[in-house]
Amino acid sequence: MSSSAPGATNPMLYDPIPEGQGSTTKRNQFVAALGICMAAVSGGTALAWTSPVLAQLVPANQSDTSGLEHESFLLTTDEGSWVGAFLAVGAFLGALPAGYLAEKIGRKYTTMSLAVPYLISWALIIFATGAGMLYAGRLVIGIATGASCVVAPMFISEVAETSIRGALGAFFQLHLTVGILFVYAVGSYTHWVTLSILCAIFPVLLIVAMFIVPESPVYLVKKGRRIDAGVALKWFWGPNADTQSALQTIQSDLDAASGEAKVSDLFTNPTNRAALFISLLLMFFQQFSGINAVIFYTAPIFQSAGSTMDPAVCSIVVGVVQVVMTLASSVLIDKAGRRILLLQSSFIMGACLIVLGVYFKMQNDKVDVSNIGWLPLASVVLFIISFSLGFGPIPWMMMGELCAPDIKGLASALAVMFNWTLVFLVTKSFGTMQELLGSDWTFWFFGAWMMVCTVYVFIKSDLF
């Protein structure tokens, strides 16, 4: 999901291991996080893949296929929208079973197994002979992406010391944007089949990395394997770490959280109900900013804008900005506060969408826009910056902060399902809305929701 994807559970939803006594080292924790996040890079490539590919397979003018004669098959606008949307369907299906599988076979082997659907999906896409195989490939890669968004942040949070929890917690989102940037950079200058082959490298790297990384100590303690958990902690935290204190803390936390909450607890308890409502509403605003439509269709947006700048270069600039601002957001969120970041995010994103709509309206009215060809790029870049600092990470963090520990897991599961449902609705309808309403009214539609969001956050200042 955007990215957020959007779509992804937040590492803050999982309680981390407190920092142990004695001397610890951080190196292997970063090594482990880097290896685990090959799943995030794989997910990022899946999210952004449609941006350069649909520009190659979907003619801008359905009756004019000039310049695309070399393709073995082409897609209609509707087929292209389904290619984008099937990832969200798969992610919806993959998110919940991933948590169950992580409890059954462990975080390590669940994360490693994600490489299988990634590789199967890329094989289906690489050898595709029509829209049907692309649909299947995107559905399977969606399952892997949704599962990655659950298991990888969980795994990382369970091996990180408190002192570097924030840094490692940001690794997943950061590597998701690295995957997006890879697709923008490589996909802009290669054929879509070549791009797909190169994207398949990251699941292979995931398998290799997970052979090196031990199992989560939290999972091992849950299974009564304290000796193995101690060995794993020594690997993650260094040979001089006080593993006995850490293991006791893990056991105490597991014992305290042993009670299982019921789904009804989310709705019968007024506090839980309010927390869930606010969290889901923030998810709604996150996706109705149009972020995943912008990520999925970055290249086509610049192409249809007729900007004087190369659409490929514009896409790469957007990818670089997203990576840099994801890094910056981990620092600013705690310093600036949630409310001000949400307000700037919704207001600036709304303004950027309205400006994009005005640009397309002028273009449709045959106004000469050659002297403002930079405007679409500036608007999308500012849009991405504002999203990365506000509505990208904060809705997931708010879920962890608002919900009580006993219902956090259930609330998280509902949030994942709701978020990916919205990703599907937005990405599936985006292309159709552009056809029926025009690009101007499509961007104004999402811009209007951001203005509503700004008013809501301003009025409900006590919640943030």
Q: Span 153-165, mean pLDDT?
A: 79
Do 265 and 155 reside in the same domain of the chain? no
Do 203 and 270 reside in the same domain of the chain? no
- Confidence band for 134, pLDDT divided at 50, 70 and 90: very high
Tokens of 414: 């509902």
Q: Span 418-423, mean pLDDT?
A: 88
Do 201 and 267 reside in the same domain of the chain? no
- For residues 219 and 251, is the Cβ–Cβ distance under 8 A? no
- Within a domain: 6: no
Q: Span 78-105, mean pLDDT?
A: 87
Between CA 449 and CA 451 the distance in angstroms is: 5
Q: What is the pLDDT of residue 408?
A: 64
- Within a domain: 399: yes
Work out the angle at residue 277's Cα, subtended by the Cα atoms of residues 272 and 283, and round it to the nearest 5 degrees.
125
Do 299 and 440 reside in the same domain of the chain? yes
Do 192 and 277 reside in the same domain of the chain? no
Alpha-carbon dihedral sign for residues 405, 411, 413, 419: negative
Provide the H-helix boundaries in 337-404. 338-364, 375-389, 394-402
Between CA 386 and CA 448 the distance in angstroms is: 16
Closest-CA residue to 10 (of 283, 272, 255) = 283
Q: Span 56-64, mean pLDDT?
A: 68
- For residues 181 and 190, is the Cβ–Cβ distance under 8 A? no
Checking if the pLDDT of 4 tops 50, the result is: no
* Residue written as token pair 């950079």: 185
- Confidence band for 404, pLDDT divided at 50, 70 and 90: low
Instruction: Give the residue with greater pLDDT, 256 vs 209.
Output: 209
Do 398 and 457 reside in the same domain of the chain? yes
Q: What is the pLDDT of residue 20?
A: 44
- Within a domain: 409: yes
Task: Outline where DSSP puts E strands in 250-337.
Answer: none
Write the pLDDT tens digit of every residue in 268-292. Answer: 778 778 888 888 899 899 999 988 7
Instruction: Give the residue with greater pLDDT, 264 vs 446.
Output: 446
Residues listed for the chain: 464
* Residue written as token pair 């509902």: 414
Checking if the pLDDT of 334 tops 90, the result is: no
Checking if the pLDDT of 262 tops 90, the result is: no
Do 197 and 272 reside in the same domain of the chain? no
Q: Span 126-154, mean pLDDT?
A: 92
* Residue written as token pair 């949070």: 157
- Confidence band for 445, pLDDT divided at 50, 70 and 90: very high
Do 47 and 192 reside in the same domain of the chain? yes
Do 209 and 275 reside in the same domain of the chain? no
**3-class SS of residue 241:** strand
Do 195 and 326 reside in the same domain of the chain? no
Between CA 183 and CA 343 the distance in angstroms is: 31
**3-class SS of residue 7:** strand
- Within a domain: 306: yes
Closest-CA residue to 319 (of 386, 380, 375, 374) = 380
257-294 in b/e form (b: 16+ CB < 10 A) is eeeebeeebbeeeeebeebbebbbebbbbbbbbbbbbb
Give the chain's domain count: 2
- Within a domain: 18: no
Provide the CA 23 distance to its chain's centre, in angstroms: 35
Q: What is the pLDDT of residue 188?
A: 84
The crossing angle, in degrees rounded to 10, of helices 50-57 and 77-105 is 150
Provide the CA 247 distance to its chain's centre, in angstroms: 32
Domain boundary among 213, 247, 275: 213
Write the pLDDT tens digit of every residue in 198-214. Answer: 999 999 999 999 999 99
- Confidence band for 63, pLDDT divided at 50, 70 and 90: low
Q: What is the pLDDT of residue 133?
A: 95
Tokens of 256: 């305290």
Instruction: Give the residue with greater pLDDT, 227 vs 3.
Output: 227
- Confidence band for 349, pLDDT divided at 50, 70 and 90: very high
- Confidence band for 313, pLDDT divided at 50, 70 and 90: confident
Checking if the pLDDT of 335 tops 60, the result is: yes
Do 179 and 266 reside in the same domain of the chain? no
Contact residues for 174 (Cβ-Cβ < 8 A; gap 6+): 37, 40, 323, 326, 327
- Within a domain: 384: yes
What is the span of the domain harbouring residue 96? 25-59+71-213
Tokens of 174: 């950061």
**3-class SS of residue 393:** coil
Closest-CA residue to 180 (of 391, 4, 350, 8) = 4
Contact residues for 375 (Cβ-Cβ < 8 A; gap 6+): 307, 355, 359, 369
Contact residues for 139 (Cβ-Cβ < 8 A; gap 6+): 86, 87, 89, 90, 121
- Within a domain: 249: no
Provide the H-helix boundaries in 188-310. 192-199, 201-212, 217-222, 226-237, 243-256, 265-268, 270-287, 291-296, 298-305
Q: What is the CATH number of the domain that holds 86?
A: 1.20.1250.20
- Within a domain: 219: no
Domain boundary among 185, 213, 241: 213
- For residues 326 and 364, is the Cβ–Cβ distance under 8 A? no
Between CA 115 and CA 99 the distance in angstroms is: 16
Highest mean pLDDT among 36-50, 92-106, 294-308: 36-50
Do 208 and 272 reside in the same domain of the chain? no
Tokens of 68: 């695309």
Report the C-alpha dihedral over residues 222, 223, 229, 232, rounded to 10 degrees. Answer: -100
